[in-house]
């Protein structure tokens, strides 16, 4: 059974008098443990699709079903709860909290989740930092890290609460090709080891080449769905 | 909560300049308020003390008829058995320390060329000295207890206006109890420079034997001025006088004992106005500080829109976002308010120890008859300091809520897209 089921998803934005259709009836099933790339040109609806999958945005029409549960029916608090418990995000610009140390940034989802005490959260954060190759850097601040290191911290932050789904919007767009490859390898390794579902949007050929499934979007419609 | 506080506190520290500017505005607002309150309270204390020590006393006993006909200081409605009354007063309340008879009258004082109306009082020089401190402010000459018979003590400014000096003879004329006018010549034994300008400009004191001769008093006493024990704070003094007046009234049916609160009612009514003025000061300063906090937090919100997006994406609710930014405002407010209290404490410590010269502070101006001259000492008011701190916190809380609400309302996707 699909962990995420999208049915006739349509998203329309209003810009003044005009309407911009970002998604035009998207149907998509994503299995648990997939390593899926959403590709397409700018404005094709990749980010909108990821936002809807992560419950950061609501579709204008259509159904989003997570693990058999209809998400459209959820209120603001329940959607926050869904994000808190089941999904994590990796952003193009890393978006670490500058006033928190590396370890505190990684702990943040656990603090928001409030399921672990301070010591447990720290232990889990250090474990994840070790997994992404940043042992010994826990007390540094984001400004003291390179772009690649920042994105590793962001990955550790995304994984710390053992999410079912990780959504990554252009995770390598701000990195050089060597660092981008390291990040892709890291995500792929975690996907293989932890069976975490990775869904990422990308323009990057390198990232696409590593994906096991590529969904192509064009003008808000799925024009290709290739499994490898 | 711990991490929320950590994020809030570190962001406050991160934007040092912004925080410092807002904190300094708060500090000066609250510091100035505490200082203004201390000085106003000091002025109150000084004024009431001066009234107690030089003009009105702790409480005053008169007949109700005399109080109803105060205009013109009539030589009617005297207190029956003044000496017996004084004994009763002294025994009525432990707060009462001394009592002295006085008979006020209106007179005209002449240097044989010009004539000036004066407010005169017949006094028992020794007992009057136990109630009032006029003997201490005789700058030249002596108080009546050490003067020759047929002497008077007058205000120094009055003497100057008539070109008179110590030892000069003056003509005093006044209506007698028989409602005819009598006049006699007296020697100036002393010149008074009190903290009450009205006394300096128009007061004349003479001993009872001389007043008897001039006015035909025949033992007429129109009021008994009463001294009370020392009180460290103004409110305690006012309450102490109220209590003593109540005891004296109870012990003396048919007479009216008015405490200093009643005797100084015009001034105290004005003091209420001063209180409102002082509240206006803090309100204006704290509104400015509040605008500063709104601005500081609004800047913080705009500087961290993407951060808000991330926190929301990771499941932080709108309420928690609001709490985070409110907390930042509260931290700025708490630091500013605490610094304000420290500043206020420092200023009050200096002014309450060393005092300020009232003349230097406001110049040589007539304060509309208010007995306020000399060295002005700030008064401690710890309740007001706590109020200042809490009010600062309240203002920062309210001010921070406005931008915090805006942060909480932000759409997650818009926040994440924000560049």
Q: What are the boundaries of each domain within chain B?
A: 2-50+268-417, 57-259
Q: How many Cβ pairs closer than 8 A exist between chain A and B? A: 68
d(CA B221, CA B17): 70
Residues of B in contact with A76 (CB under 8 A): 317-318
Residue-wise pLDDT for B2-43, tens only, equals: 777 888 888 888 878 878 888 888 888 888 888 888 888 888
Cβ–Cβ contact A20 with B under 8 A: no
Nearest to B139 by CA among B117, B155, B126: B155
Q: Is 60 exceeded by the pLDDT of residue A178?
A: yes
pTM of the model as a whole: 0.69
Q: Is 90 exceeded by the pLDDT of residue A223?
A: yes
Per-residue pLDDT at B373 = 61
Per-residue pLDDT at B300 = 74
A83-87, A176-180, B211-215, B357-361: least confidently modelled range: B357-361
Cβ–Cβ contact A83 with B under 8 A: yes
Residues of B in contact with A100 (CB under 8 A): 3, 6-7, 10
Most confident of A18-22, A209-213, B207-211: B207-211
Superfamily of A4-227 according to CATH: P-loop containing nucleotide triphosphate hydrolases (3.40.50.300)
Instruction: Give the residue from chain B lying closest to A49, CA to CA.
Output: B413
Cβ–Cβ contact A60 with B under 8 A: no
Residue A191 dihedral angles phi and psi, to the nearest 5°? -60, -40
d(CA B96, CA B210): 29
Q: Nearest CA of chain A to the CA of B22: how many Å?
A: 20
Band of residue A179 on the pLDDT scale cut at 50, 70, 90: confident
3-state helix, strand, coil in chain B (%, to 5): 60, 20, 25
Q: What is the greatest pairwise CA distance in chain B?
A: 100
CB within 8 Å: B416 and A84: no
Q: Is B90 helix (H, G, I), strand (E, B) or coil?
A: helix
What does the buried/exposed string (b/e) look like for A67-86 if buried means 16 or more CB atoms within 10 Å of the residue's CB? eeeebeebeeeebbbbbbeb
Q: Which residues are A18's β-sheet partners?
A: A15
Q: Is 60 exceeded by the pLDDT of residue B371?
A: no
Residue A118 dihedral angles phi and psi, to the nearest 5°? -55, -45
Residue-wise pLDDT for B142-178, tens only, equals: 999 999 999 999 999 999 999 999 999 999 999 998 8
For residues B73 and B239, the model is more confident at B239
DSSP B270: H
Q: Which residues are A200's β-sheet partners?
A: A37, A168
Cβ–Cβ contact A56 with B under 8 A: yes
Q: Is 90 exceeded by the pLDDT of residue B316?
A: no
Cβ–Cβ contact B312 with A under 8 A: yes
């Amino acid at each position: 059974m699909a962990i995420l089921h999208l049915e006739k998803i349509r998203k329309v934005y209003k810009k003044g008098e005009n309407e911009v259709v970002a998604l035009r009836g998207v149907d998509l099933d994503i299995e648990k443990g997939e390593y899926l790339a959403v590709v397409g040109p700018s404005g094709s609806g990749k980010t909108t699709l990821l936002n809807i999958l992560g419950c950061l945005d609501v579709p204008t029409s259509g159904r989003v079903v997570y693990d058999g549960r209809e998400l459209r029916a959820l209120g603001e608090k329940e959607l926050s709860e869904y994000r808190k418990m089941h999904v994590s995000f990796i952003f193009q610009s890393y978006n670490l909290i500058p006033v928190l140390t590396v370890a505190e940034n990684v702990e943040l989802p656990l603090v928001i989740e409030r399921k672990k005490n301070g010591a447990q959260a720290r232990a889990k954060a250090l474990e994840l930092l070790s997994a992404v190759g940043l042992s010994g850097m826990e007390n540094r601040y984001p400004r003291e890290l390179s772009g690649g290191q920042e994105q590793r911290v962001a990955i550790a932050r995304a994984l710390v609460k053992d999410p079912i789904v990780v959504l990554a919007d252009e995770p390598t767009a701000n990195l050089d090709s060597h660092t981008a490859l390291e990040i892709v390898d890291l995500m792929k390794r975690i996907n293989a080891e932890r069976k975490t579902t990775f869904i990422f949007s990308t323009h990057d050929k390198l990232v696409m080449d590593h994906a096991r499934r590529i969904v192509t979007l064009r003008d808000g419609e799925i024009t290709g769905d290739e499994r490898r | 909560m711990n991490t929320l506080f950590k994020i809030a506190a570190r962001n406050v520290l991160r934007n040092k300049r912004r925080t410092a500017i807002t904190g300094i505005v708060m500090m000066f607002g609250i510091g100035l308020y505490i200082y203004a309150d201390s000085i106003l309270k000091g002025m109150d204390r000084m004024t009431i003390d001066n009234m107690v020590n030089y003009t009105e006393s702790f409480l005053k006993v008169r007949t109700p008829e005399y109080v109803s006909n105060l205009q013109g200081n009539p030589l009617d409605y005297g207190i029956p058995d003044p000496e017996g009354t004084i004994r009763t007063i002294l025994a009525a309340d432990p707060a009462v320390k001394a009592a002295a008879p006085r008979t006020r009258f209106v007179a005209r004082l002449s240097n044989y060329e010009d004539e000036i109306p004066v407010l005169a009082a017949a006094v028992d020089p020794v007992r009057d000295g136990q109630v009032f401190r006029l003997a201490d402010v005789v700058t030249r000459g002596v108080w009546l207890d050490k003067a020759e018979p047929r002497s008077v003590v007058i205000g120094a400014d009055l003497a100057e206006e008539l070109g008179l000096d110590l030892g000069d003879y003056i003509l005093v004329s006044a209506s007698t109890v028989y409602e005819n006018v009598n006049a006699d010549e007296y020697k100036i034994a002393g010149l008074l420079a009190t903290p009450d300008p009205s006394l300096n400009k128009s007061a004349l004191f003479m001993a009872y034997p001389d007043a008897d001769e001039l006015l035909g008093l025949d033992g007429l006493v129109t009021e008994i001025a009463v001294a009370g024990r020392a009180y460290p704070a103004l409110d305690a003094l006012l309450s102490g006088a109220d209590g003593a007046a109540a005891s004296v009234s109870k012990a003396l049916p048919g007479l009216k004992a008015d405490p200093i609160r009643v005797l100084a009612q015009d001034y105290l009514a004005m003091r209420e106005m001063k209180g409102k003025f002082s509240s206006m000061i803090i309100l204006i300063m704290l509104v400015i500080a509040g605008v500063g906090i709104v601005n500081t937090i609004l800047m913080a919100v705009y500087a961290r829109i993407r951060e808000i997006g991330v926190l929301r994406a990771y499941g932080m609710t709108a309420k928690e976002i609001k709490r985070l930014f409110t907390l930042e405002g509260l931290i700025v407010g708490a630091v500013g308010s605490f610094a304000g209290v420290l500043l206020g404490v420092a200023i009050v410590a200096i002014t309450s120890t060393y005092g300020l010269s009232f003349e230097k502070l406001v110049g040589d101006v007539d304060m509309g008859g208010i007995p306020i001259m000399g060295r002005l000492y700030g008064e401690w008011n710890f309740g007001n300091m706590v109020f200042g701190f809490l009010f600062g916190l309240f203002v920062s809380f309210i001010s921070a809520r406005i931008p915090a609400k805006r942060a909480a309302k932000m759409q997650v996707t818009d926040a994440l897209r924000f560049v």
